[in-house]
């Protein structure tokens, strides 16, 4: 069939005329729930109305899909349940693209023992670090892994109420993002330190005030955070070294314990973090994106 | 997974989910995921992992705002809402990733200078196709929309061989109708 003929058929399939029935009437027709005379009248209409036949097919598809007994894939079912649990435990979760491959990758990168000791601020800071390295929401990340795998090391793991530091570095240590985080009367401050001269601007533009940051169960408790303020900053470390980066303030509150597995989905960065208190495994999915940023930047610098 | 909900029971389930009753919300979201998952089968160019991501995205959207924004109350309205949300999201992802969709989504334009001529052609074509039995017309349009035979069997309750032979006859008739309006 020619493209022209196909175009005409496509058009014909959508061109509604006068007296076309409502969607509800079509659904009732399918279920044979209409009075006999209405059923017959609709039969007659359908006979000469390709658009309504196609609407009827739509309705049939919907009916069949809604009443299918085909089981959900177990992984999808687990994700749905985790999202519902997260939603019930706190503010609505943020939509995010997620990737099982990314989860598996990070599962292998993060050490359960280390994460078991990490406090709320440190876990949040990890999410902040990943978030700040990702492009803004307008350009959702391509989760296809490329380039050299990124090694993630966690340092200075301390309870949530004391300063905590996390180091993200690639294999040769050329790229580093270190984070300091502390809580003060429910407000945590994270300093994102990076070699600002080489970090792509787009990767720093992810967070704005008012963004819901994360919902994580930490040692049985769920922590909700909301970004209060983001600003560029310069500071010195304990050895007198000068740094520049971003100062991020977020409020943190605690909610009721949720289900065994809760997720935090960050729309801003396409980041999905899940933390299982039973196994102390934390999963931040699109960490591959950091890897891509690094690879792209290396290409540019060559 | 919870069993599919009968249409008559849907308003009760919706009310429970809106009250954030845990079992009700979970059941409704699982139904929605199953529905989206199934609708997404028609996008043959999507990988299984991508289908799973998209179905999960639909659930996340519902949890965030979609459930609150749903203004209907009946099961058919909910299905239409989910279908729209699922397909729009799938299309946007396909476009973003430059993956060709299975079907054409935009309506073809009518050339304004030939509008009357084309309207006449459509009318004639509709009458010509309308000479087919209703079931044959449905089968023709289903195949034109590239629905797999397996789904057609499920939807129509007719054996695949019967569907195939009816489709062949319908296609011949439609080809004849197209020739009558100068298309082939």
Residue B163 banded pLDDT, cuts 50, 70, 90: very high
Q: How far apart are CA B172 and CA A174, in angstroms?
A: 67
The token pair at A56 is 């009827």
Summarised one tens digit per residue, pLDDT across range A36-74 is 999 999 998 998 888 889 888 888 887 777 776 677 888
Summarised one tens digit per residue, pLDDT across range B124-143 is 888 888 889 999 999 998 88
ipTM, two decimals: 0.72
Mean pLDDT of chain B: 80
> Are B108 and A11 within 8 A, CB to CB?
yes
| Most confident region among A12-21, A168-177, A225-234, B140-149 by mean pLDDT | B140-149
pLDDT at B95: 73
Q: Which residue has the higher pLDDT, B152 or A115?
A: B152
CA distances from A11 to A4, A45, A54, B105 (A): 11, 18, 11, 11
Q: What percent of chain A has pLDDT over 90?
A: 0
- Chain B residue closest in CA terms to A66: B35
Residue B29 banded pLDDT, cuts 50, 70, 90: very high
What DSSP designation does B3 have? Answer: P
How far separated are the first and last CA of chain B, in Å rounded? 48
The answer, yes or no, to whether residue B86 has pLDDT greater than 80, is: yes
- Chain A residue closest in CA terms to B31: A66
Span A124-147, average pLDDT: 32
Residue B28 banded pLDDT, cuts 50, 70, 90: very high
User: Whose structure tokens read 């530091």?
Assistant: A165
Residue B47 banded pLDDT, cuts 50, 70, 90: confident
CA distance B163 to chain A (A): 15
Residue A82 banded pLDDT, cuts 50, 70, 90: confident
Residue A179 banded pLDDT, cuts 50, 70, 90: very low
pLDDT at B33: 93
pTM attached to this predicted model: 0.46
Measured between beta carbons, which residues in chain A are less than 8 angstroms from residue B79? 62-63, 65-66
Q: Which of B77, B107, B141 sits opposite A57 (nearest CB)?
A: B141
The SS3 assignment for A133 reads: helix
Selection from B140, B104, B34, B60 nearest residue A215 by Cα: B60
Measured between beta carbons, which residues in chain B are less than 8 angstroms from residue A23? 76-77, 80
Give the number of A-B residue pairs with CB atoms closer than 8 Å: 181
pLDDT at A302: 54
CA distance A75 to chain B (A): 8
- Lowest-confidence region among A217-221, B36-40, B55-59, B81-85: A217-221
Measured between beta carbons, which residues in chain B are less than 8 angstroms from residue A87? 25, 63
Q: How far apart are CA B75 and CA B13, in angstroms?
A: 10
The answer, yes or no, to whether residue A132 has pLDDT greater than 60, is: no
Q: How far apart are CA B167 and CA B7, in angstroms?
A: 32
Measured between beta carbons, which residues in chain A are less than 8 angstroms from residue B65? 92
> Are A57 and B138 within 8 A, CB to CB?
yes
Q: How far apart are CA A56 and CA A297, in angstroms?
A: 53
Nearby residues of B38 by Cβ (< 8 Å), 6 or more positions away: A64, A65, A68, A70
Q: Which of A8, A13, A43 sits opposite B141 (nearest CB)?
A: A13
Contact A203, A215 (CB under 8 A): no
Summarised one tens digit per residue, pLDDT across range A7-34 is 777 777 777 766 888 877 888 888 888 8
Measured between beta carbons, which residues in chain A are less than 8 angstroms from residue B129? 12, 50
Residue A300 banded pLDDT, cuts 50, 70, 90: low
Q: How far apart are CA A202 and CA B167, in angstroms?
A: 53
Span B44-69, average pLDDT: 85
The token pair at A155 is 């340092």
Contact A174, A198 (CB under 8 A): no
B37/A contact by beta carbon, under 8 A? yes
> Are B52 and A65 within 8 A, CB to CB?
no
> Are A50 and B129 within 8 A, CB to CB?
yes
Neighbours of A175 (CB within 10 A): 20
Q: Which of B39, B108, B134 sits opposite A65 (nearest CB)?
A: B39
The token pair at A167 is 């180091």
Give the residues across from A164 on adjacent strands.
A181
pLDDT at B154: 83
The answer, yes or no, to whether residue A261 has pLDDT greater than 80, is: no
Measured between beta carbons, which residues in chain B are less than 8 angstroms from residue A78? none
Selection from B173, B96, B64, B11 nearest residue A50 by Cα: B173
A101 phi and psi, to 5 degrees? Answer: -65, -40
Mutate to test the interface with B, among A66, A67, A90, A257 (most CBs of B within 10 A): A66
């Amino acid at each position: 069939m020619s493209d022209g003929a196909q175009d005409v058929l496509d058009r014909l399939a959508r061109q509604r005329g006068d007296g076309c029935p409502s969607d509800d009437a079509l659904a009732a027709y399918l279920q044979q729930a209409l009075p006999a005379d209405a059923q017959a009248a609709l039969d007659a209409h359908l006979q000469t109305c390709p658009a309504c036949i196609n609407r009827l097919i739509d309705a049939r598809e919907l009916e069949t899909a809604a009443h299918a007994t085909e089981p959900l894939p177990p992984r999808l079912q687990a994700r749905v349940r985790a999202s519902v649990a997260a939603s019930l435990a706190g503010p609505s979760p943020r939509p995010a693209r997620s990737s099982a491959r990314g989860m598996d990758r990070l599962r292998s990168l993060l050490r359960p023992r280390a994460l078991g000791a990490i406090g709320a601020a440190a876990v949040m800071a990890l999410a902040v670090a990943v978030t700040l390295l990702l492009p803004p929401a307008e350009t959702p990340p391509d989760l296809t892994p490329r380039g050299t795998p990124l090694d993630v090391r966690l340092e200075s793991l301390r309870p949530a109420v004391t300063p905590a530091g996390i180091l993200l570095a690639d294999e040769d240590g050329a790229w580093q993002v270190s984070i300091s985080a502390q809580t003060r009367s429910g407000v945590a401050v994270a300093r994102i330190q990076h070699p600002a001269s080489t970090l792509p601007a787009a990767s720093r533009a992810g967070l704005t005030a008012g963004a819901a940051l994360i919902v994580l169960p930490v040692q049985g408790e769920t922590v909700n955070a909301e970004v209060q303020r983001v600003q560029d900053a310069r500071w010195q470390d304990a050895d007198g070294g000068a740094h520049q980066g971003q100062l991020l303030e977020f409020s943190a509150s605690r909610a009721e314990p949720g289900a065994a597995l809760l997720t935090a989905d960050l729309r801003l960065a396409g980041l999905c973090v899940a933390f299982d208190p039973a196994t102390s495994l934390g999963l931040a999915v699109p960490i591959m994106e950091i890897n891509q940023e690094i690879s792209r930047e290396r290409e540019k610098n060559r | 997974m919870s069993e599919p909900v009968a249409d008559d029971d849907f308003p009760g389930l919706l009310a429970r989910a809106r009250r954030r009753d845990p079992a009700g919300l979970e059941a409704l979201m699982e139904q929605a995921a199953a529905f989206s998952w199934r609708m997404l089968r028609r996008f043959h160019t999507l990988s299984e992992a991508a289908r799973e991501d998209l179905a999960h995205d639909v659930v996340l959207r519902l949890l965030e705002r979609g459930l609150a924004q749903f203004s209907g109350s009946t099961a058919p309205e909910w299905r239409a809402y989910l279908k729209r949300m699922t397909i729009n999201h799938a299309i946007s992802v396909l476009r973003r990733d430059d993956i060709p969709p299975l079907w054409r989504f935009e309506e073809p334009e009518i050339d304004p200078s030939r509008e009357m001529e084309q309207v006449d052609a459509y009318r004639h074509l509709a009458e010509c196709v309308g000479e087919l039995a209703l079931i044959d017309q449905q089968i023709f349009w289903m195949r034109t929309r590239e629905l797999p035979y397996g789904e057609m069997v499920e939807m129509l309750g007719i054996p695949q061989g019967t569907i195939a032979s009816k489709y062949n006859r319908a296609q011949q008739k439609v080809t004849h109708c197209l020739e009558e309006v100068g298309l082939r």
